[in-house]
């Protein structure tokens, strides 16, 4: 009978003080919901960084320029000329450059990304052709109207190799399907170069500059250059050589970001620190507030329930039984608040995932850590009241009756 | 006093003092007495004379400062907290002046609460609780919240709770203090019936009118407890 009776006691005692229990429950639920959100965002940031490192490819680094609107002079734009120059001067490396085009005006559906690239893209980035062929030098030189579609976009648009697609009123023939599972966690231009999402359409870079068959000048802007070393040796030497080349007066550009696995990890650490400082302090405050309300609830409970404690002792309860009762009452509140807060935040995050400006990852840790926190909070904040209740002398308690 | 019945509670040189800022206050001083099985003993005395302290010692809720207490032949000073708990759980019943009911629970749940720290299956506890309520004529109120009962009914609920597990010793502290005359009479008759069934009762009161229900009287005064004839009590 004792386990069921304990549960019954706990529920009855909580019901006897609904306002205080509700206040504590609400504070803890909000705190737990915030904790879940913070963890989901931190998990999302970590996942995104892993994804970006994976998407960057093995032995690959990138040069990404800020958008043209943020640059001081037009002559400092990163262009095909730079990609060709680096390719010519880095014999042990493969160089690719690409540009993000306006997919909406091209007539692609929302979420799709249009990339103008060269024939070496698939040698540098870890994207695989699963059907058909990649672009070749002739496609670029001859401004062939061909396209490669990611498998996700091919399913969304019902396209396959040999099908035609219209972009800017020009017909492109799909020549290849590529496996690109880069997710869709991108939030900024630099990240979009690394993880452009999985709804991709690629065309030869020589076509979209003017969407015509006119010759394309080498000064045509590109957004990024990616370089892959031919050996698995550290990239330092190759990066140093690239840096030297890019400092040549004719090729110097401004607003260039170097994207390396290390820079991505550094970026993650900075991001995590900011989120932890901002979100963590609010959450801590919420949880401490909830915990203190819980302590106050239990202390008031101990004071008002002295005769009940006396009765329990008279009926054979040990001090440990009394302490356990109060601790279990606290645990009921913290655990139910944890479940409600966690569940609520989980559902809200799931529903708003598409609109959130931050990457979010909902994994088992997002459940387990708040649950453990709930247990720890329950034990820590009920320890003192439970100890006080257990220490009440039964004869003193019954005198108060 | 000689008695052929077995001793249920024996106190030898029992003293109890409480710490105060001005040093220990002696409430009971060198008590020597025996309570025999089947007795209905009244402990009389004015407020502050040590009646409740005496009851707490008898209920094993407190330990004496000195001296020994035997419960049914067992020296309880040798027992630890759990040993005293075991005796309280199984062999002692208590009834309080202000009933000590859980007001938001039903009458039946209050009586079932007697089994809270006993290893008794819920169904058995319910059945014993219902029997106890029947004996106290409270069956119609079983599912009513305890707070809605009259004073007399509350006290009878408290008695039902105390005797749902038949105790060897029933300790009763001012059971009629909060009741009108008729209710008090009803409650005392309940105690009398329980005593007739062999339950030893120790009743603390300052109301001499209750002595007619008892068969022995002890008086607490100045830290001592003395045997008093049932007819000779004056407070």
Higher pLDDT: A142 or A17? It is A142
pLDDT score recorded for residue A79: 87
pLDDT score recorded for residue A283: 83
In chain B, the DSSP E strands lie at 7-18, 25-36, 40-44, 66-71, 74-75, 92-95, 169-173, 200-204, 216-221, 224-228
| Mean pLDDT, range A271-280, rounded to an integer | 82
Q: How many CB atoms lie within 10 A of CB A339?
A: 16
Band of residue A191 on the pLDDT scale cut at 50, 70, 90:
low
Task: Identify whether the C-beta of residue A64 lies closer than 8 Å to the C-beta of residue A259.
Answer: yes
Band of residue B70 on the pLDDT scale cut at 50, 70, 90:
very high
Question: Which domains, from first to last, does chain B contain?
Answer: 7-228 (3.40.50.300)
| Mean pLDDT, range B78-84, rounded to an integer | 87
Residues 6+ apart with CB under 8 A from A393: B61, B62
Note whether A126 and A185 are same-domain residues.
yes
| Mean pLDDT, range A206-224, rounded to an integer | 77
d(CA A47, CA A39): 12
pLDDT score recorded for residue B179: 81
Give A279's Cβ-side CA count (13 Å radius): 19
Note whether A308 and A382 are same-domain residues.
yes
| pLDDT at A310 > cutoff 80 | yes
Which chain B residues are closer than 8 Å to A5 by Cβ?
A: 115-116, 122
CA A304 to chain CA centroid, nearest Å: 48
Of the candidates A233, A254, A275, which is a domain's last residue?
Answer: A254
Closest CA–CA distance from residue B159 to any residue of chain A (Å): 13
Pairing of strands A164-167, A113-117: unpaired
| Mean pLDDT, range B153-182, rounded to an integer | 90
B61 and A398 in contact by Cβ < 8 A?
yes
Residues 6+ apart with CB under 8 A from B166: B197, B199
Does any domain span residue A347?
Answer: yes
Note whether A76 and A148 are same-domain residues.
yes
- Beta-bridged to residue A117, according to DSSP, are A204
> Tens digits of per-residue pLDDT, A365-391?
888 999 999 999 999 999 999 999 999
Cβ of residue B182 closer than 8 Å to a chain A Cβ: no
d(CA A5, CA A16): 16
| Mean pLDDT, range B35-54, rounded to an integer | 90
- The whole-chain average pLDDT of chain A stands at 83
**Quick one: closest CA in B to A315, which residue?**
B89
Note whether A120 and A209 are same-domain residues.
yes
Give the helix, strand, coil percentages of chain B, each rounded to 5.
35, 25, 35
Closest CA–CA distance from residue B117 to any residue of chain A (Å): 6
Note whether A142 and A214 are same-domain residues.
yes
- Residue given tokens 């979209």 in the structure block: A208
> Tens digits of per-residue pLDDT, A91-144?
888 999 888 888 888 788 888 888 888 888 888 887 888 999 999 989 888 888
Note whether A314 and A280 are same-domain residues.
yes
- % of residues, chain A, pLDDT over 70: 90
Q: How many CB atoms lie within 10 A of CB B73?
A: 9
Give the pair of three-digit tokens for residue A76. 């400092």
pLDDT score recorded for residue A185: 38
Task: Identify whether the C-beta of residue B153 lies closer than 8 Å to the C-beta of residue B141.
Answer: yes
Closest residue by Cα to residue B196 from B39, B29, B27, B12? B39
| Mean pLDDT, range A46-74, rounded to an integer | 74
Of the candidates A188, A220, A254, which is a domain's last residue?
Answer: A254
Band of residue A235 on the pLDDT scale cut at 50, 70, 90:
confident
Does any domain span residue A80?
Answer: yes
Closest residue by Cα to residue A96 from A282, A278, A212, A222? A222
Residue A28 region by backbone torsions, left for phi larger than 0, else alpha for psi between -120 and 50, else beta: alpha
Note whether A225 and A80 are same-domain residues.
yes
Interface of B with A in 118-137 (CB under 8 A): 118-122, 125
Closest residue by Cα to residue A269 from A58, A45, A94, A100? A45
Lowest mean pLDDT among A188-202, A264-278, B5-19: A188-202
pLDDT score recorded for residue A232: 61
Closest CA–CA distance from residue B124 to any residue of chain A (Å): 10
> Tens digits of per-residue pLDDT, B151-165?
889 989 999 999 999
d(CA B169, CA B88): 10
Number of domains in chain A: 2
Does any domain span residue A390?
Answer: yes
| Mean pLDDT, range A155-167, rounded to an integer | 90
Q: Is A277 exposed, middle or buried (0-12, 13-18, 19+ CB in 10 A)?
A: exposed
d(CA A114, CA A111): 10
| Mean pLDDT, range B121-148, rounded to an integer | 93
Does any domain span residue A261?
Answer: no
Task: Report the Cα–Cα distance between both ends of chain A, in Å, rounded.
Answer: 27
d(CA A181, CA A198): 5
| pLDDT at A73 > cutoff 80 | no
d(CA A280, CA A282): 5
Task: Identify whether the C-beta of residue B233 lies closer than 8 Å to the C-beta of residue B222.
Answer: no
Give the pair of three-digit tokens for residue A269. 């650490």
Of the candidates A194, A226, A254, which is a domain's last residue?
Answer: A254
Note whether A79 and A178 are same-domain residues.
yes
Residues 6+ apart with CB under 8 A from A237: none
Task: Identify whether the C-beta of residue A147 lies closer than 8 Å to the C-beta of residue A204.
Answer: no
Note whether A109 and A35 are same-domain residues.
no
Note whether A92 and A175 are same-domain residues.
yes
Which chain B residues are closer than 8 Å to A4 by Cβ?
A: 122
Task: Identify whether the C-beta of residue B26 lies closer than 8 Å to the C-beta of residue B201.
Answer: no
Does any domain span residue A57?
Answer: no
The shortest CB-CB distance from A315 to any of B105, B117, B120 is to: B117
Task: Identify whether the C-beta of residue A294 lies closer than 8 Å to the C-beta of residue A374.
Answer: no
Task: Identify whether the C-beta of residue A45 lies closer than 8 Å to the C-beta of residue A268.
Answer: yes
Closest residue by Cα to residue A169 from A131, A211, A199? A211
Band of residue A183 on the pLDDT scale cut at 50, 70, 90:
very low
Note whether A323 and A244 are same-domain residues.
no
Does any domain span residue A58?
Answer: no
Does any domain span residue A259?
Answer: no
| Mean pLDDT, range A148-169, rounded to an integer | 89
pLDDT score recorded for residue A186: 41
Does any domain span residue A60?
Answer: no
Note whether A90 and A217 are same-domain residues.
yes
Using DSSP, state whether A99 is helix, strand or coil.
strand
DSSP symbol at A205: T
Closest CA–CA distance from residue A29 to any residue of chain B (Å): 27
User: Which structural domain, as residue segments, surrounds residue A166?
Assistant: 67-254
B117 and A317 in contact by Cβ < 8 A?
yes
Band of residue A74 on the pLDDT scale cut at 50, 70, 90:
low
B62 and A310 in contact by Cβ < 8 A?
no
Give the pair of three-digit tokens for residue A167. 């972009």
């Amino acid at each position: 009978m004792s386990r069921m009776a304990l549960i019954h006691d706990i529920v009855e005692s909580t019901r006897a003080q609904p306002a205080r229990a509700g206040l504590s429950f609400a504070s803890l639920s909000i705190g737990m919901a915030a904790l879940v959100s913070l963890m989901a965002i931190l998990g999302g940031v970590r996942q995104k960084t892993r994804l970006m490192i994976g998407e960057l490819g093995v032995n690959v680094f990138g040069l990404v320029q800020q958008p043209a609107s943020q640059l001081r002079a037009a002559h400092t734009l990163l262009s095909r000329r730079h990609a060709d120059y680096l390719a010519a001067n880095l014999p042990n490396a493969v160089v690719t450059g690409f540009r993000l085009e306006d997919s909406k005006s091209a007539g692609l559906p929302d979420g799709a990304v249009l990339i103008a690239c060269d024939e070496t893209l698939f040698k540098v980035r870890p994207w695989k052709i699963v059907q058909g062929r990649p672009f070749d030098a002739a496609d670029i030189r001859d401004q062939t109207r061909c396209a490669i579609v990611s498998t996700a976009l091919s399913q969304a648009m019902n396209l396959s190799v040999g099908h035609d697609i219209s972009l800017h009123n020009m017909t492109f023939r799909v020549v290849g399907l590529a496996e690109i599972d880069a997710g869709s966690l991108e939030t900024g231009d630099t990240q979009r170069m690394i993880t452009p999402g999985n709804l991709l359409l690629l065309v030869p870079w020589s076509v979209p500059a003017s969407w015509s068959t006119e010759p394309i000048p080498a000064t045509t802007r590109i957004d990024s250059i990616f370089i892959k070393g031919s050996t698995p040796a550290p990239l330092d030497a190759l990066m140093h050589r690239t840096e030297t080349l890019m400092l040549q007066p004719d090729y110097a550009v401004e607003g260039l970001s170097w994207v390396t696995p290390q820079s991505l990890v550094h970026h993650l650490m900075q991001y995590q620190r900011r989120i932890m400082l901002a979100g963590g302090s609010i959450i801590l405050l919420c949880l401490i507030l909830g915990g203190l309300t819980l302590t106050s609830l239990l202390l008031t409970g101990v004071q008002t329930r002295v005769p009940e404690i006396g009765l329990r002792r008279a009926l054979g309860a040990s001090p440990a039984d009394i302490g356990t009762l109060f601790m279990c009452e606290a645990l009921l509140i913290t655990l139910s608040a944890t479940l409600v807060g966690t569940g609520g935040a989980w559902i809200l995050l799931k529903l708003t995932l598409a609109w959130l400006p931050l990457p979010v990852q909902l994994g088992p840790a997002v459940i387990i850590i708040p649950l453990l926190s709930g247990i720890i909070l329950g034990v820590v904040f009920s320890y003192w009241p439970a100890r006080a209740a257990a220490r009440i002398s039964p004869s003193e308690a019954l005198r108060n009756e | 006093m000689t008695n052929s019945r077995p001793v249920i509670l024996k106190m030898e040189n029992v003293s109890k003092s409480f710490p105060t800022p001005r040093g220990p206050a002696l409430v009971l001083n060198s008590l020597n007495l025996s309570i025999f099985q089947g007795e209905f003993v009244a402990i009389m005395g004015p407020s502050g004379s040590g009646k409740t302290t005496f009851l707490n010692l008898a209920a094993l809720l407190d330990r004496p400062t000195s001296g020994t207490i035997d419960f049914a032949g067992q020296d309880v000073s040798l027992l630890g907290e759990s040993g005293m708990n075991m005796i309280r759980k199984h062999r002692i019943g208590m009834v309080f002046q202000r009933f000590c009911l859980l007001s938001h629970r039903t009458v039946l749940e209050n009586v079932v609460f007697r089994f809270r720290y006993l290893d008794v299956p819920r169904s058995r506890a319910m059945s014993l609780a219902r029997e106890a309520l029947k004996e106290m004529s409270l069956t119609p109120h079983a599912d009513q919240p305890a707070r809605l009962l009259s004073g007399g009914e509350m006290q009878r609920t408290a008695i039902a709770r105390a005797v749902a597990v038949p105790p060897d010793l029933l300790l009763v502290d001012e059971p009629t203090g909060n009741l009108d005359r008729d209710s008090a009479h009803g409650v005392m008759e309940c105690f009398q019936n329980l005593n007739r069934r062999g339950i030893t009762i120790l009743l603390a009161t300052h109301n001499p009118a209750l002595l007619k229900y008892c068969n022995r009287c002890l008086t607490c005064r100045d830290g001592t407890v003395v045997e008093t004839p049932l007819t000779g009590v004056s407070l």
